[in-house]
A and B are shown apart, each in its own frame.
Chain A
Amino acid sequence: MSPLAGPPRRVIAWAIPLVIALAVLPFAAPPYQTVLLSYGLVFAIAALGFNLLLGYTGLLSFGHSAYFGVGAYAVAFVVKYLKLESMEAFLLAGVLASAFVAALFGVLCVRYTKIFFGILTLALSQVLWSLAFKFFWVTGGTDGLRVPTPTLLGGTVKMTAAGGQDKLGFLSHRYYYYVLAVFVICVAVMWVIVHSPFGKALQAIRDNETRAEFVGVQVWHYRWVAFLISGIYTGLAGALWVPLNGLTTPDILYWQFSGKIVFFTVLGGFQTFFGPIIGAVIYNYLETYAVGHTVYWQMVLGVVLVVLVLALPAGIVGTAMRLMPRWRRAAAP
Chain B
Amino acid sequence: MEEGRRAVNILQTERLTKYFGDTHAVDHVDFTVTEGEVLALIGSNGAGKTTLVNLVSGLIPADSGKILFQGTDITSASIHKKIELGIARSFQLVNLFDRLTALDNVALAIFSRDGKTRKLLSLAESDPAVRDEAQGIMQSFGLASKAAMVAGGLSQGERKLLDVAVAYALRPRLLFLDEPTSGVSTREKAPIMDIITSIVRSGRITAVIIEHDMDVVFTYCPRIVAMHQGAILADGTPDEIRRNEQVTANLLGTQSHA
Q: Which of B64-72, B108-116, B250-258 contacts A (4 or more CB under 8 A)?
A: B108-116
A136 to B: closest C-beta gap in Å: 40
Judging by beta carbons under 8 Å apart, are A2 and B99 in contact?
yes
A207 at the interface (CB under 8 A from B): yes
Contact string against B for A residues 198-218, beta-carbon threshold 8 Å, 1 for contact and 0 otherwise: 111101101110111111111
A15 at the interface (CB under 8 A from B): no
Judging by beta carbons under 8 Å apart, are A211 and B117 in contact?
no
Residues of B within 8 A of A5 (CB): 101
Counting chain A residues whose Cβ lies within 8 A of the other chain, the interface size class is 20 to 34
B160 at the interface (CB under 8 A from A): no
Judging by beta carbons under 8 Å apart, are B122 and A192 in contact?
yes
B47-63 with Cβ < 8 A to chain A = 57, 59
B3 at the interface (CB under 8 A from A): no
B218 at the interface (CB under 8 A from A): no
Judging by beta carbons under 8 Å apart, are B125 and A195 in contact?
yes
Q: Which of B78-86, B219-227, B241-249 contacts A (4 or more CB under 8 A)?
A: B78-86
Cα of A201 to Cα of B107 in the assembled complex, Å? 10
Residues of A within 8 A of B88 (CB): 214
Residues of B within 8 A of A222 (CB): 117
Contact of A214 among B84, B89, B98, B99 (CB under 8 A): B89
Cα of A210 to Cα of B89 in the assembled complex, Å? 12
Contact of B57 among A196, A206, A214, A217 (CB under 8 A): A214
Judging by beta carbons under 8 Å apart, are A217 and B101 in contact?
no
Cα of A4 to Cα of B120 in the assembled complex, Å? 16
Contact string against A for B residues 110-133, beta-carbon threshold 8 Å, 1 for contact and 0 otherwise: 011100111111111101001000
Judging by beta carbons under 8 Å apart, are A198 and B107 in contact?
no
Judging by beta carbons under 8 Å apart, are A197 and B166 in contact?
no
Cα of A192 to Cα of B126 in the assembled complex, Å? 11
* Max chain B Cβ within 10 angstroms of own Cβ: one of A5, A197, A208, A217: A197
Contact of B148 among A1, A206, A215, A218 (CB under 8 A): A1
B129 to A: closest C-beta gap in Å: 12
Cα of A216 to Cα of B78 in the assembled complex, Å? 10
Residues of B within 8 A of A107 (CB): none
Cα of A192 to Cα of B122 in the assembled complex, Å? 6
B184 at the interface (CB under 8 A from A): no
Judging by beta carbons under 8 Å apart, are B124 and A195 in contact?
yes
Judging by beta carbons under 8 Å apart, are A216 and B113 in contact?
yes
Judging by beta carbons under 8 Å apart, are A215 and B109 in contact?
yes
B233 at the interface (CB under 8 A from A): no
Contact of A198 among B117, B130, B150 (CB under 8 A): B117
Judging by beta carbons under 8 Å apart, are B124 and A200 in contact?
yes
Judging by beta carbons under 8 Å apart, are A207 and B80 in contact?
no
- Dominant SS among interface residues on chain A: helix
Judging by beta carbons under 8 Å apart, are B98 and A208 in contact?
yes
Residues of A within 8 A of B57 (CB): 214
Residues of B within 8 A of A229 (CB): 120
B96 at the interface (CB under 8 A from A): yes
Judging by beta carbons under 8 Å apart, are B95 and A197 in contact?
no
Cα of A185 to Cα of B95 in the assembled complex, Å? 36
Judging by beta carbons under 8 Å apart, are A200 and B117 in contact?
yes
Judging by beta carbons under 8 Å apart, are B98 and A197 in contact?
no
Cα of A192 to Cα of B108 in the assembled complex, Å? 16
**Given A214-B88, A217-B112: A1 and B124 interface contact (C-beta under 8 Å):** no
Judging by beta carbons under 8 Å apart, are B118 and A198 in contact?
yes
Judging by beta carbons under 8 Å apart, are A201 and B108 in contact?
yes
Cα of A1 to Cα of B113 in the assembled complex, Å? 24
Judging by beta carbons under 8 Å apart, are A201 and B101 in contact?
no
Cα of A216 to Cα of B127 in the assembled complex, Å? 19
A158-195 with Cβ < 8 A to chain B = 189, 192-193, 195
Judging by beta carbons under 8 Å apart, are A204 and B124 in contact?
no
Judging by beta carbons under 8 Å apart, are B117 and A197 in contact?
yes
B74 to A: closest C-beta gap in Å: 15
B97 at the interface (CB under 8 A from A): yes
B91 at the interface (CB under 8 A from A): yes
Q: CB-nearest residue of chain A relative to B98?
A: A207
B234 at the interface (CB under 8 A from A): no
A325 to B: closest C-beta gap in Å: 15
Judging by beta carbons under 8 Å apart, are B123 and A211 in contact?
no
Cα of A224 to Cα of B117 in the assembled complex, Å? 14
**16 contacting pairs across A/B (C-beta < 8 A):** A1-B101, A2-B100, A192-B123, A195-B123, A197-B124, A197-B127, A200-B108, A204-B108, A208-B98, A214-B59, A214-B79, A214-B88, A215-B113, A216-B80, A217-B117, A218-B80
Tell me the B residues contacting A by CB distance below 8 Å.
Answer: 57, 59, 79-80, 83-84, 88-89, 91, 95-101, 104, 107-109, 111-113, 116-125, 127, 130, 148, 150, 166-167, 169-170
> 18 new A-B pairs (CB below 8 Å) besides A195-B124, A213-B79, A214-B83?
A1-B148, A2-B99, A192-B122, A198-B117, A199-B124, A200-B111, A200-B117, A201-B112, A201-B117, A203-B99, A203-B100, A207-B96, A208-B95, A208-B97, A214-B79, A215-B108, A216-B113, A222-B117
The 10 closest A-B pairs by CB, nearest first: A198-B120, A207-B97, A211-B95, A201-B117, A197-B111, A216-B112, A216-B83, A215-B109, A204-B97, A196-B120
